[in-house]
């Protein structure tokens, strides 16, 4: 994505020497002149913790070297799911993360952040943001590849994506109860009317894949065809890919917000448009 964005924006692709001191501390050095230039840093924020400190140092260093603005382009935005205190003693890390990013960057570009109880990034981010919606592009992809689809969302949170992708096609949203990060319980209505359709399961994030796998089980148990599984952001934590490869699915497809062999839906163009809108 990086080279394509740079070409489309007619921007210079500059090197940064990012390294570690022997004790593990971060060393970085820009090898270009940043005076009065806009710097765009592209870094998807899957596995965010090891990426964060180097990113903050890059932003601060660029500013110290005279950069005009430092824009973070994070196609996947981390820490959006802990958007409330679910249990006593927890923190609302969505807010803390947004504070950290807002303190170091001048603007943010991202794709479909997990907005649920927080309805707009401006509720927690204090910098200009551009949000790209993948749904219209996923819709075109499905139209070009799938006949007679029926769309399924595994939970209430997925409804916004599933409905936007489905347009006039039938949509069924299941009910999910999350027991913990490893276990979910999903219930679905009678689906016998959809046996001649091609099921398309859509979620914004596939992490452990338990949500997808439980939904796939339901479709299989009810005698539907193996589903096409679409995730906007494929995080694929732990054994997710292994489990999905052994599940009864037609295909696994993701958007290119996190580089992975399942990437089939291209969002580079809208990302370029969003960056352009900030420049």
Residues that bind ligand R5P (CB under 6 A): 81, 154-155, 157-158, 184, 203-211
For residue 143, what is the enclosing H or E element? helix 135-145
DSSP string computed for 246-261: HS--SEEEEETTS--T
Place of tokens 């003693």: 89
Which is nearer to ligand R5P, 67 or 153 (by Cβ)? 153
Which is nearer to ligand R5P, 37 or 214 (by Cβ)? 214
Residue 140 CB, nearest distance to ligand R5P (Å)? 22
Which is nearer to ligand R5P, 208 or 254 (by Cβ)? 208
Residue 210 CB, nearest distance to ligand R5P (Å)? 4
SS3 assignment, position 83 = coil
- Could you tell me which of 244, 204, 225 has the C-alpha nearest to residue 112? 204
DSSP string computed for 157-200: GGHHHHHHHHTTS-EEE-EEEEEETTEEEEE----GGGTTSEEE
Residue 72 CB, nearest distance to ligand R5P (Å)? 22
For residue 180, the cross-strand partners are: 183
Residue 157 CB, nearest distance to ligand R5P (Å)? 4
User: Beta strand 149-153 with 171-173: parallel, antiparallel or unpaired?
Assistant: parallel
Q: Kindly give, in sequence order, each residue whose CB lies less than 8 Å from that of residue 203, ignoring residues fewer than 6 positions away.
A: 153, 154, 155, 158, 161, 211, 212, 230, 231, 232
Residue 176 CB, nearest distance to ligand R5P (Å)? 7
- C-alpha span between 47 and 49 (Å, rounded): 6
Which is nearer to ligand R5P, 107 or 205 (by Cβ)? 205
Which is nearer to ligand R5P, 146 or 209 (by Cβ)? 209
Which is nearer to ligand R5P, 149 or 234 (by Cβ)? 234
Residue 244 CB, nearest distance to ligand R5P (Å)? 10
Residue 109 CB, nearest distance to ligand R5P (Å)? 21
Which is nearer to ligand R5P, 137 or 209 (by Cβ)? 209
Residue 60 buriedness (CB in 10 A; 0-12 / 13-18 / 19+):
middle
- C-alpha span between 258 and 50 (Å, rounded): 16
């Amino acid at each position: 994505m990086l080279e394509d964005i740079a070409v489309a924006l007619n921007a210079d692709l500059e090197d940064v020497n990012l390294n570690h001191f022997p004790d593990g501390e971060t060393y970085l050095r820009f090898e270009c002149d940043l005076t009065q230039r806009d710097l765009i840093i592209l870094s998807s924020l899957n596995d965010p913790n090891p990426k964060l400190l180097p990113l903050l140092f890059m932003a601060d260093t660029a500013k110290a070297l005279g950069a005009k603005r430092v824009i973070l382009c994070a196609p996947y935005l981390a820490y959006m799911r802990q958007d409330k205190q679910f249990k006593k003693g927890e923190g609302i890390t969505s807010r803390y993360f947004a504070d950290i990013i807002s303190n170091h960057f001048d603007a943010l570009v991202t794709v479909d952040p997990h907005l649920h109880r927080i309805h707009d990034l401006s509720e927690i981010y204090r910098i200009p943001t551009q949000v790209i919606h993948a749904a219209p592009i996923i819709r075109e992809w499905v139209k070009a590849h799938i006949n007679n689809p029926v769309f399924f969302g595994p939970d209430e949170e997925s409804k916004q994506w599933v409905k936007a992708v489905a347009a006039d096609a039938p949509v069924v949203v299941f009910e999910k109860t999350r027991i913990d990060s490893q276990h979910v319980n999903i219930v679905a209505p009678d689906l016998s009317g959809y046996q001649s359709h091609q099921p398309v399961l859509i979620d914004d994030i596939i992490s452990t894949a338990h949500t997808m796998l439980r939904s796939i089980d339901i479709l299989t148990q009810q005698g539907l065809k193996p589903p096409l599984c679409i995730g906007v952001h494929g995080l694929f934590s732990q054994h997710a890919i292994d489990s999905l490869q052994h599940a009864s699915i037609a295909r696994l497809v993701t958007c290119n917000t996190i580089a992975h062999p399942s990437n089939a839906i291209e969002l580079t163009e809208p990302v370029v448009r969003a960056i352009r809108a900030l420049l």
